[in-house]
Amino acid sequence: MRLILLGPPGAGKGTQAKVLIDSYGIPQLSTGDILRSAIAAKTPMGLAAKEIMDRGDLVSDEIVNGIVSERLDQDDCKAGFVLDGFPRTIVQADALDRMVGGRGPLVVLDIVVPEDVLVRRLASRRICGECGINAAVDWLTVCGTCGGVLVARVDDGVEIVRERLGVYHRQTKPLVDYYKGRPTFRQIDGNLPPDIVTGAIDAALTEAAARGVHL
C-alpha cells in the first residue's frame, strides 16, 4: 500500500497513520523525519540539505524530492508506506508520481474537519514539557511516557492556529485538485470518533481494491 495522508493540523492524521502502519506493517514517512535521517546518515542529499539549512535558507523542492526518493528506495518501503507531510506542492506531487512509477498506484486520503472543530482541538492540545511528545487523550496532567508535566504548545494559541490553518488550506487546495480526479482519491470525514474514522478509511481502501486498484 502506497498511501498519502492529507489533512490539516488537528485532523487526526497521526492517530490514523499509527493504525495503518500497525495494520499493514509499513513505515510512516514524514518530511521532517526523512530530512533529519538523511542529514544524520550523511547521504548526498542530506549533506546538500544541511549546507542550505546552515545558511538559514529554505530547502528547495529539488533537494526535498531527492531526500524522499532516497528514502523510498530503502528496503522497508518495498511493501508500501504512509506519507505524511509530503507532497506539499504540485512540483513535489509530480516528482512523487515519477518516484513510484511502476510500483503501483498511490492512494490519497484527504481527512476533512470543520475549521471551528480544528481550532478547539488544537487550542486544547497539550504536550509533555520534558520529552515534547503530544499528549494522549487519557493523559490528564502528566506524560504517560516520561512523567513530565503537560503544557500548552506555544503555537496552539487561537489566532496562531487560525493562521496555520489558513496557510494549510491555501497550500493544500492545489494538491486536492491535483489528486481528486483519480480513482484512488477519497475524502474522509474526520469530525467523528477515531474508531469511526478508521472504519471509513478501511472502507475507502476496500472500495479502491474492489475497483481494480491493487493496494
How many domains does the structure of the chain reveal? 1
Within a domain: 60: no
Look at residue 153 in the predicted model and tell me its pLDDT.
65
State how far the Cα of 26 lies from the Cα of 102, in Å rounded to an integer: 18
Catalytic pick from 50, 120, 153, 182? 153
Our answer to whether residue 211 is catalytic in this structure is: no
Phi, psi (5° rounding) for residue 107?
A: -100, 125
Within a domain: 8: yes
Q: What sign results for the dihedral spanned by CA atoms 76, 90, 112, 144?
A: positive
Look at residue 209 in the predicted model and tell me its pLDDT.
66
Our answer to whether residue 170 is catalytic in this structure is: no
Within a domain: 192: yes
Look at residue 60 in the predicted model and tell me its pLDDT.
87
Residue 13 sits in a domain of what CATH number?
3.40.50.300
Catalytic pick from 2, 121, 126, 164? 164
Specify whether the CB–CB gap between 161 and 123 falls below 8 A: yes
Our answer to whether residue 186 is catalytic in this structure is: no
Within a domain: 122: no
Which of 11, 29, 113 lies closest to 67, judged by CA?
29
* Domain membership of residue 108 as a residue range: 2-26+79-114+163-210
Within a domain: 215: no
Q: What sign results for the dihedral spanned by CA atoms 154, 160, 164, 167?
A: negative
State how far the Cα of 190 lies from the Cα of 193, in Å rounded to an integer: 8
Within a domain: 178: yes
Within a domain: 199: yes
Our answer to whether residue 88 is catalytic in this structure is: yes
Grid coordinates given for 140 = 490528564
Burial class (CB in 10 A: 0-12, 13-18, 19+), 66: buried
Within a domain: 104: yes
Confidence (pTM) = 0.78
Our answer to whether residue 71 is catalytic in this structure is: no
Mean pLDDT of successive 10-residue stretches along the chain, which has 215 residues: 89 89 91 85 87 83 90 92 90 93 85 90 81 76 89 70 84 90 92 94 83 53
Catalytic pick from 50, 120, 125, 162? 125
Say how far residue 185 (Cα) sits from the centre of its chain.
16
